[in-house]
Structure 1
Amino acid sequence: MGTWLGLIIGNSRLHWAWFGGDQLRRTWNTVHFSEDAIATSLTLPHPPLPLPPDLDDHALRSVPLMVASVVPAQTQLWLNYPNVVELTLEQLELANLYPTLGIDRALAALGAFHHWDSSVLVIDGGTALTFTGVNEQGALVGGAIAPGLRLQIQTLHHHTAALPDVEMATLQAIEWWATNTPDAILSGVWHLVLAGVRDFIWNWQQNYPLSHIVLTGGDGELLYQALCGQWQPWHKRSLHLDPHIGLRGMAIASAQLLNSEKPG
């Protein structure tokens, strides 16, 4: 495959990529389309591509688009795009995938497994905080899902009478024992999430001590930096940050699909 576009539709954002063959050339994120925008776009010959200003819409308008989505309401629009392929779990060369596994998690696991060629634990700090483990044979071991950092903070704000909405800008510097309500919320959410992440890593490494640990997602860098600050140097060698690991998995899936379609 020459030039093509990849799109992973996540719970909060659309994750785009421009590929040249299996090489990731450019990434960008956009917000979900509103219901009205989807309805309007469905009346057009093809949906408008939300490209960065420096990319030529006309040059990319007819290239293949590969879509993987965990939000069905956002998927419909892009299936009207010319030359579109929707990725499904059944097309991925990972063993033991269960039917309700999010394809975003599966693609991230596929990308990490092929990059490091070993057992991997992918931790996605997105809207949901997810853990996805794959063994040395490329088979899914299992995983876990919890509310992400921002979702926990928003939930406290929306479901209590007096707790405010707070920003996460200074999250890593937050004191354990806060003396005001916003900092108390940040302390509780941040330290509990970080402790949970450490426990999941510890448990995984009991069975896969040589495994690579890959952080991704919107809060992946926050978690990565915090873990790096606490781990010994020899542990840090197994810890990685890759915000595009799911898109790299999409490139691998694309190549595998092309190979499977070749005659003979």
Structure 2
Amino acid sequence: MLLAIDAGNTNIVFGVHDGNAWIHEWRFNTLPIKNQIEYEVFLRLNFMENDLKLSDVDGIIISSVVPQMNGILAEFWSNLIECEHVFIGPKYYDQLPIITSNPHSIGTDLMANAMAAHCLYKTDCIVVDFGTALTFTVVEASGNIHGVNIAPGLKTAIKALVGNTAQLPEVPLELPASVIGKNTVHAIQAGVLWGYVSMVEGMLDRIQKEMGRNFKVVATGGLSSVLTPLHERFDEVNRHLTLDGLRLIHERLK
């Protein structure tokens, strides 16, 4: 079994792949950073509750965009699992079939997205990742990562709005039926969520116009299911795309 660990700014995702499919996925809050024992206990309990054996893990791959966690992520599992691990970073990029001109500037999660898009779809792709940040990764059929766009994610935008105003409440991420708010909560929901629908539509149109051709559009990330009107603009919603990228990177490096 492969254990993939994807540490983002909001959640750490732990995925277990049995060689055919992702059979389990668990999320742990990234902040505040816990000590090594807490991560050990979390992993051990989830394996026990799902009748999995830590001894069956024969590979570990780790992606992290949170540098202050890297030391813990590289070591916390060592008392539980005896196998080699890969902590992906720029030193491995030249061994992959994807190409980036700025290896030290692109996040390992975006590299995983690009790897999955290139290997799974084998065509020009735009990966829209709805996470702490909203990212658009443009990957050409050749494997060249043409570029990336980064905007605040949905939760990040709402927290910034609420945190910098005196009277606005934090609201649930629920898309209202109307684009015109009828009360304060609906006004925030309409402004942010329908605003993001328009932003994603506009960004996809502008990217494809600038590139001069159509791209396959794949959405991923924990919040990819929130903006349902966008689903007709997506060719696919793949919530495991980043994990699949990590799995494919592990296979290539192995």
Verify same fold: TM over 0.5.
Answer: yes
When residues 208 and 240 of structure 1 are mapped into structure 2, their CA distance, relative to the original with a 3 A threshold, is farther
**Structure 2 residue aligned with 1:118, among 123, 127, 130?**
123
Partner of 1:134: 139
Contact 1:89 1:97 in 2 (8 A): no
The alignment partner of 2:179 has SS state of coil
Whether 1:69 and 2:70 are equivalent positions in the alignment is no
Cα distance, 1:47 vs structure 2: 3.3
Partner of 2:109: 104
Q: Which amino acid aligns with 1:18?
A: V
**Structure 2 residue aligned with 1:158, among 144, 154, 163?**
163
Inter-partner Cα distance in structure 2 for 1:103 and 1:58:
25
The alignment partner of 2:225 has SS state of helix
Inter-partner Cα distance in structure 2 for 1:115 and 1:138:
12
What are the equivalent positions in structure 2 for 1:182-201 lying under 5 Å apart?
182-201=185-204
The alignment partner of 2:167 has SS state of coil
Residue-by-residue CA offset, 1:56-102 (whole Å, 9 max, x unaligned): 35435x64321110012222212113333211133232112421211
When residues 217 and 54 of structure 1 are mapped into structure 2, their CA distance, relative to the original with a 3 A threshold, is same
When residues 100 and 23 of structure 1 are mapped into structure 2, their CA distance, relative to the original with a 3 A threshold, is same
TM-score between both structures, scaled by the size of structure 2 = 0.85
Contact 1:121 1:214 in 2 (8 A): yes
When residues 49 and 180 of structure 1 are mapped into structure 2, their CA distance, relative to the original with a 3 A threshold, is closer
Partner of 2:27: 29
Partner of 1:47: 40
Instruction: State the 4+ residue runs in structure 1 displaced beyond 6 angstroms.
Output: none
Q: Which amino acid aligns with 1:245?
A: L
Q: Which amino acid aligns with 1:32?
A: T
Inter-partner Cα distance in structure 1 for 2:151 and 2:68:
22
Inter-partner Cα distance in structure 2 for 1:55 and 1:216:
28
Inter-partner Cα distance in structure 2 for 1:179 and 1:89:
49
Q: Which amino acid aligns with 1:11?
A: N
Partner of 1:261: none
**Structure 1 residue aligned with 2:12, among 5, 11, 14?**
14
Q: Which amino acid aligns with 1:67?
A: I
Inter-partner Cα distance in structure 2 for 1:48 and 1:77:
13
Q: Percent sequence identity over matched residues?
A: 24
Inter-partner Cα distance in structure 1 for 2:14 and 2:101:
24
Cα distance, 1:33 vs structure 2: 6.1
Cα distance, 1:21 vs structure 2: 4.1
Whether 1:78 and 2:73 are equivalent positions in the alignment is yes
When residues 33 and 125 of structure 1 are mapped into structure 2, their CA distance, relative to the original with a 3 A threshold, is closer
What are the equivalent positions in structure 2 for 1:141-180 lying under 5 Å apart?
141-168=146-173, 170-171=174-175, 173-180=176-183
**Structure 1 residue aligned with 2:218, among 191, 214, 218?**
214
Partner of 2:89: 88
Cα distance, 1:109 vs structure 2: 1.3
Whether 1:244 and 2:248 are equivalent positions in the alignment is no
When residues 216 and 208 of structure 1 are mapped into structure 2, their CA distance, relative to the original with a 3 A threshold, is farther
Q: Which amino acid aligns with 2:67?
A: P
Aligned pairs, how many? 240
RMSD: 2.2
